[in-house]
Structure 1
């Protein structure tokens, strides 16, 4: 839907009676998030084309969500205003994903960039149709929000909860605005690394459909279908089960399987299997994961998005051709020690058996991540959050060796 059509939809709500318009206003909410982000990535391999990526920026994210007008079909509108401001960058240190990048490395990142997104929404019973700017979080497509500003899409998304325990989703995406850009563009399939995917064009049509059924409070299963027109089609099945053991203890099982095939203008051919087990007790969480790739290529997903994989982490996705990978993870919530808001996470992943082509040795890689975060719980600084993210990656016979640090200071201010 064009922005003009969205405004027309909004305008139609304004001529409704005051009574019908009451819920539209009374249920609305707005907030602004301040996100200060410092990013440093040092490339450690020999002959790296760039020694480091090092940038600092300030983001402002204004979010507005209206309620719905009264009646059988409720009408509403959402708005998203994004502004990124450069604090420090240079052409030889660009490319962190915080700021738009000058591909010629002459002028460097712009001083600022911005985006306005509008979304019309219709609600009937327990179903909601949204048309306009979207940030889908579904197995088929996971919009990325790991930098200064989030990735957004233009399209339509229908979500339905008409039947108890059953959630249905479906829709079509037309274009994407990447996290370091304010431009709308056609979508691509993720390539690079050693995944072996070759795609000859882009696409302005991504169709998705999915269902998730909650059999019990502890067990849910899901199925998703996705098709990036002309590039790939995909089937995804997943299962999540939480087994209560005793008070404060549980075992979570997360199983995922995906099959991806080409759709005319790529060579996509992949089967991805993943499993993650997490044991939680007294503020501690211990996790172990396994992921396996098979087929002629690695895993396929829209360029710039997150991958629905158990071993998709801070930097790597461990989704290269024929790769087998393991993960060990530990989390601790310091609320168990009387320090709510303070959290810690560390994990280690290793992958091998990566097919690099005839005559080349097997590829290997490993990644180590550590996150420490704190959110102020009370006082004048309540809800101010600070997070430090550290990562180290090393590869054999392909890819980048790098050390990375991210420092993120954030605050969400409710406006009403």
Structure 2
């Protein structure tokens, strides 16, 4: 089987090389092919969301779908300038849904009929150029940066189009800079103009980096500007410390300052967001406490197709409304300590208050989440992951969203080479 797999890999990248890198001799392609890797991520996702408030326009949202994400990543050609090519293919298939049960975020649906699509897909290519310890990527991107974080909480991950330069020329320092122009949402096949809310822009520019002063201390700063909509600054600190007797403390402190830019197409943006999480771990146990405080006249802005980089981003809610204060308590346990490797448990409670939204001046909301997951350790189903997520969300003082939710997720990654 292994020779056939290698032959398949060489055939695929020889074709890519012939199409995209015709100027290079075969000897220069050795690392391009030899350092390549490919995998298929499979995710089966079921969501049942029961809306509990009176007069809800939809009594429940319930959908079941299967997702496939194929990733092929080349190495780099030999030489001062190394060239490479990555490919991303995503396919979502409807297993069960209907117009009266749509809207879980698993499947797109028609604007008039509300009929969920039977399938949706995306194909993205990314060209790469490497010089020394710097890499420039152009094409389809899934950034994980404080000012631009892609969403991967449903069937398929969202993507962006643009360019990203990552440099690690100085030991301990990682610098990122780039521009995003399009976004493909997690339940969409189309690339739309980058934007926030109902407003769109020509581009989102960003830059910044992080510096590791030691293995225990990391500081970071980023700046982002969604042209004619908002501009944002971020500063963060990560610190780990051994407390003795097997206890360890992890501190994660983040601060955002967001203001309007140019024509302010999304309305006035005025938000400061301080959030932090402190986690104490000992053996199989982890206990975390988080606090998030927003000030200013608007909600916390983040890119359509992305997630906010905040500690109280939980299963359903983000707790990022204007003036909202929120706190979280969380507990994790790894059952490997009881002789059951692969089985983990998490539960958390998040509470938000002082929300300003429209005519609401002092809204309240809270969420309780429980996760139980298991990764099969042996046999023909080895490495298949099973996860059950249970959510309860309630709001009050003028806010009107109440729901109970269950998610069942089965995942598996197949390495092709």
1:3 matched residue in structure 2 = none
Deviations 1:165-204 (A, max 9, x none): 00000000000000100101012224xxxxxxxx6x3113
Equivalent pair of 2:183/2:304 in contact (CA under 8 Å): no
Distance change in 2, residues 1:74/1:361 (3 Å): closer
Instruction: Name the CA distance, whole Å, in 1 between partners of 2:158 and 2:20.
Output: 29
For residue 135 of structure 1, the aligned residue among 130, 142, 147 is: 142
Instruction: Name the CA distance, whole Å, in 1 between partners of 2:376 and 2:102.
Output: 32
How far the C-alpha of 1:29 sits from its partner, in A, is 0.6
Equivalent pair of 1:35/1:60 in contact (CA under 8 Å): yes
- TM-score, with normalisation over the residues of structure 1? 0.93
Q: Which runs of 5+ in 1 are unaligned?
A: 1-6, 191-198
What does 1:119-198 correspond to in 2, within 5 Å? 119-190=126-197
1:404 matched residue in structure 2 = 405
SS of the equivalent of 2:21 reads helix
How far the C-alpha of 1:205 sits from its partner, in A, is 0.3
How far the C-alpha of 1:107 sits from its partner, in A, is 5.6
How far the C-alpha of 1:15 sits from its partner, in A, is 3.9
- TM-score, with normalisation over the residues of structure 2? 0.93
SS of the equivalent of 2:28 reads helix
CA-based RMSD: 1.6
2:8 matched residue in structure 1 = none
Instruction: Name the CA distance, whole Å, in 2 between partners of 1:240 and 1:182.
Output: 36
What does 1:124-273 correspond to in 2, within 5 Å? 124-190=131-197, 201-246=199-244, 248-263=246-261, 264-265=263-264, 266-273=267-274
Instruction: Name the CA distance, whole Å, in 1 between partners of 2:383 and 2:16.
Output: 37
2:9 matched residue in structure 1 = none
SS of the equivalent of 1:162 reads coil
Equivalent pair of 2:126/2:137 in contact (CA under 8 Å): yes
Instruction: Name the CA distance, whole Å, in 1 between partners of 2:302 and 2:358.
Output: 22
Instruction: Name the CA distance, whole Å, in 1 between partners of 2:206 and 2:135.
Output: 16
Q: Which runs of 5+ in 2 are unaligned?
A: 1-14
How far the C-alpha of 1:12 sits from its partner, in A, is 4.3
Equivalent pair of 1:9/1:120 in contact (CA under 8 Å): no
Deviations 1:274-327 (A, max 9, x none): 111100001100001111010011211012311011111111111111111110
Equivalent pair of 2:83/2:128 in contact (CA under 8 Å): yes
Equivalent pair of 1:256/1:273 in contact (CA under 8 Å): yes
Instruction: Name the CA distance, whole Å, in 1 between partners of 2:323 and 2:244.
Output: 39
SS of the equivalent of 1:355 reads strand
Equivalent pair of 1:14/1:21 in contact (CA under 8 Å): no
For residue 26 of structure 1, the aligned residue among 30, 34, 38 is: 34
SS of the equivalent of 1:11 reads helix
Equivalent pair of 1:34/1:60 in contact (CA under 8 Å): yes
Instruction: Name the CA distance, whole Å, in 1 between partners of 2:237 and 2:229.
Output: 27
SS of the equivalent of 2:195 reads coil
Distance change in 2, residues 1:290/1:107 (3 Å): closer
How far the C-alpha of 1:9 sits from its partner, in A, is 8.5
Q: Point out the more displaced range, 106-115 or 131-140.
A: 106-115
Distance change in 2, residues 1:399/1:207 (3 Å): farther
1:302 matched residue in structure 2 = 303
For residue 44 of structure 1, the aligned residue among 52, 62, 65 is: 52
How far the C-alpha of 1:245 sits from its partner, in A, is 1.6
Instruction: Name the CA distance, whole Å, in 2 between partners of 1:301 and 1:121.
Output: 27
2:121 matched residue in structure 1 = 114
Equivalent pair of 2:290/2:328 in contact (CA under 8 Å): yes
Equivalent pair of 1:91/1:102 in contact (CA under 8 Å): no
Instruction: Name the CA distance, whole Å, in 2 between partners of 1:404 and 1:353.
Output: 25
1:59 matched residue in structure 2 = 67
Deviations 1:191-229 (A, max 9, x none): xxxxxxxx6x31130111111000110000100101111
Instruction: Name the CA distance, whole Å, in 1 between partners of 2:130 and 2:75.
Output: 10
Equivalent pair of 2:179/2:203 in contact (CA under 8 Å): yes
Instruction: Name the CA distance, whole Å, in 2 between partners of 1:344 and 1:12.
Output: 47
Equivalent pair of 1:277/1:289 in contact (CA under 8 Å): yes
How far the C-alpha of 1:55 sits from its partner, in A, is 0.5
Q: Does 1:100 align with 2:108?
A: yes
How far the C-alpha of 1:17 sits from its partner, in A, is 1.6
How far the C-alpha of 1:34 sits from its partner, in A, is 1.5
SS of the equivalent of 1:19 reads helix
What does 1:358-373 correspond to in 2, within 5 Å? 360=360, 362-373=362-373
Count of aligned positions: 399
Deviations 1:387-408 (A, max 9, x none): 1111111001114111111111
Q: Point out the more displaced range, 301-310 or 210-219.
A: 301-310
2:10 matched residue in structure 1 = none
Instruction: Name the CA distance, whole Å, in 1 between partners of 2:30 and 2:245.
Output: 45
1:193 matched residue in structure 2 = none
How far the C-alpha of 1:13 sits from its partner, in A, is 2.3
Equivalent pair of 1:102/1:108 in contact (CA under 8 Å): yes
Instruction: Name the CA distance, whole Å, in 2 between partners of 1:242 and 1:10.
Output: 48
